[in-house]
């Protein structure tokens, strides 16, 4: 646990370009543990799909365009945090969706002060997941901890029910440590976001927003022409403003960005 506290004292990690393969579950995954873990929630990707129920992606590593469905593995970490952390984050996603669905449907055009904390938590979730979406190794060694001889079924039952465990020899699945880091860093960063006065509901008069793989600016795209921006007043912006936002957002991307239709997304020259 000293190692955990030591890692938490470090600055936020730079996103890793590569990682190790995830540990396998039992055949057929009887505990329904989440393997494909979205960095940007699938329900947040869905408003950007086009006619083919896909989004347009620019793959920066291969310098090519492609299309992908919202559940594509391209948008996912692969069992990088544990199931208790996955469920904790789902609660944050659910609260966020309850707030933004009326905005997406045109019933609300602003975020109430009482809703701001949940928006902060959602941005903190996305911000940290993007930076902790890969693991160098699948196992960490806890010094001074003996651990227990456990079958894979026993391990999965413990994980599903919210427990941390150590294997014989003090070996802990790295996803458990990563989950602890994620939850604590998300909480701390959401607390920092309290300094932002408000999240503005921004409508694009023309042009469409891109969605980055790694958020840097406090911008949460909700749909091709709708975004939350903090701090900003509610309102409508021109295509030139959309171009400025897209250019700033693209500058922080590492591997990809996506949109409904990239040909409709302006960038500043």
Q: Where are the domains of the chain?
A: 37-264
Helix spans in the chain (H): 2-9, 42-45, 83-104, 116-131, 152-160, 174-192, 239-251
Q: What sign results for the dihedral spanned by CA atoms 117, 6, 12, 125?
A: negative
Residues 6 or more apart from 57 whose CB is under 8 A from it?
65, 66, 67, 68, 74, 256, 257, 258
Tokens (6 digits) for 87: 């469920």
Asked whether the beta carbons of 215 and 126 are under 8 A apart, the reply is: yes
Q: Give the gyration radius of the chain's Cα atoms.
A: 20
> How far apart, in whole angstroms, are the C-alpha atoms of residue 79 and residue 32?
12
φ and ψ at residue 171, rounded to 5 degrees: -90, 125
> How far apart, in whole angstroms, are the C-alpha atoms of residue 50 and residue 30?
34
Q: CB neighbours (10 Å) of residue 213?
A: 20
pTM score, whole prediction: 0.93
Tens of pLDDT along the chain (269 residues) come to 444 444 444 567 677 778 899 999 999 999 999 999 999 999 999 999 998 999 999 999 999 999 999 999 999 999 999 999 999 999 999 999 999 999 999 999 999 999 999 999 999 999 999 999 999 999 999 988 999 999 999 999 999 999 999 999 999 999 999 999 999 999 999 999 999 999 999 999 999 999 999 999 999 999 999 999 999 999 999 999 999 999 999 999 999 999 999 999 999 98
DSSP helix/strand/coil, 210: coil
């Amino acid at each position: 646990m000293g190692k955990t506290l030591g890692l938490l004292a470090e600055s936020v990690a730079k996103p890793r370009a590569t990682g190790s393969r995830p540990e396998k579950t039992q055949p057929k995954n009887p505990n329904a543990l989440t393997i494909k873990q979205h960095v940007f929630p699938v329900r947040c990707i869905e408003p950007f799909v086009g006619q083919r129920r896909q989004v347009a992606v620019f793959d920066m590593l291969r310098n090519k365009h492609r299309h992908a469905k919202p559940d594509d593995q391209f948008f996912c970490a692969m069992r990088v945090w544990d199931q208790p952390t996955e469920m904790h984050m789902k609660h944050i996603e659910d609260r966020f969706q309850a707030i933004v669905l009326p905005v997406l449907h045109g019933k609300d055009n602003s975020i109430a002060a009482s809703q701001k904390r949940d928006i902060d938590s959602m941005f903190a979730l996305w911000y940290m997941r993007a930076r902790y979406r890969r693991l160098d190794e699948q196992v960490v060694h806890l010094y001074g901890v003996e651990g227990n001889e456990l079958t894979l079924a026993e391990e999965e039952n413990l994980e599903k029910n919210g427990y941390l465990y150590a294997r014989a020899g003090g070996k802990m699945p790295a996803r458990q440590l990563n989950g602890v880091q994620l939850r604590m860093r998300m909480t701390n960063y959401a607390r920092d976001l309290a300094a932002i006065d408000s999240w503005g509901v921004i409508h694009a008069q023309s042009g469409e927003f891109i969605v980055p793989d790694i958020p840097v600016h406090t911008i949460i795209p909700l749909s091709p022409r709708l975004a939350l921006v903090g701090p900003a007043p509610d309102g409508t912006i021109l295509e030139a403003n959309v171009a400025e936002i897209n250019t700033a957002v693209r500058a922080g991307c590492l591997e990809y960005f996506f949109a409904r239709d990239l040909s409709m997304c302006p960038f500043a020259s």
